[in-house]
Structure 1
Amino acid sequence: MTPDQIGLVKQSYYLIAPVSHQAAGLFYGRLFSVAPEVKPLFDRANMFTQADKLWATLGKIVDVLDRPEALEPAAAKLAVSHLHYGVMPEHYAPVGDALVWALEQGLGESFNPEVRDAWTAAYDHISQAMISATNAAVRNAGVQAAAGE
């Protein structure tokens, strides 16, 4: 990601903050529409508080986008915590699509091609780090299981 892209992501994240609950509702509606297989992962979730969690977590990631030494561990920790909910690598693509779509809906005219490219680059970077951490955790669990731990 370029510094300009990081700036656009940060700026647009704060622009959407006043409508974050609506954007989260749009996000989950879109996600469940394009990837109905993930809906059961949220069966026990209170979707009102889930919306708060989504934007708070996104904010933590956005805050460290310009600090790779903080971003990579944050993404890995987030991935491992989501693994416990059943999130697998194949879920990341539809989440990214739903996120970018929800941002577009929430930001309206402020969501231009540069903002889209910046969010896409950010999500690609973060999701790759999360997928790597997920795969490592699954491999590690397999090694531990094979060792009888």
Structure 2
Amino acid sequence: MTPEQVKLIQDSFSKVASISEQAAVIFYDRLFEIAPSVKAMFPSDMTEQRKKLMATLAVVVNGLSNLQSILPAASALATRHVSYGAKPEHYPVALLWTLEKGLGDAWTPEVAAAWTAAYGTLSGHMISEAYGKPQAAE
């Protein structure tokens, strides 16, 4: 990711953060729509899970300018995902879809490319750490 892409991600995330509760609902609704089998991995009351999602995203977004600083946390998260029963195919692009919906007109081709690059880098790292081989998220 270029410094310009990092800035685009951070600037666009500040808009999403202002609607964080709604964005988290949209994310999980989409996730369960495209990967219904993962719903059983989550509690019935998603309130805390939605807060954790947005807090984790904030840490990642704020750390993108120093990617090496967030990779250990991403590795730990990937390992926890395995213990919950997550598989590589459970790394869908619900996040990108959510951002597109949440940002509306601010989801420009440049913003989309920046988020896609960041998502590919981080999900690829997490899958590699969790399963021992690089794989692209679907």
Q: TM-score under structure 1 normalisation?
A: 0.83
Partner of 2:46: 47
Runs of 4+ with >4 A deviation: none
| Gap runs ≥5 in structure 2 | 133-138
Q: Aligned match of 2:126 in 121, 124, 130?
A: 130
Look up the SS of the partner of 1:65 in the other structure. helix
Structure-2 separation of matches of 1:68 and 1:109:
28
Computed over aligned residues only, the root mean square deviation of the Cα atoms, in angstroms, reads 1.2
Q: Which has the larger radius of gyration?
A: 1
Percent of aligned positions that are identical: 48
1:71 equivalent in alignment to 2:62: no
Q: Using the TM superposition, give the Cα deviation of residue 45 of structure 1 relative to its aligned residue in structure 2, in angstroms.
A: 4.9
1:59-101 alpha-carbon deviations (Å, 9 max, x no partner)? 1111111113212212111111222211121111x1xx21111
Structure-2 separation of matches of 1:14 and 1:84:
31
Structure-1 separation of matches of 2:44 and 2:118:
26
| Gap runs ≥5 in structure 1 | 137-149
Q: Aligned match of 2:104 in 81, 105, 108?
A: 108
Q: TM-score under structure 2 normalisation?
A: 0.90
Farther-moved stretch of structure 1 (14-23 vs 63-72) = 63-72
Structure-1 separation of matches of 2:82 and 2:45:
19
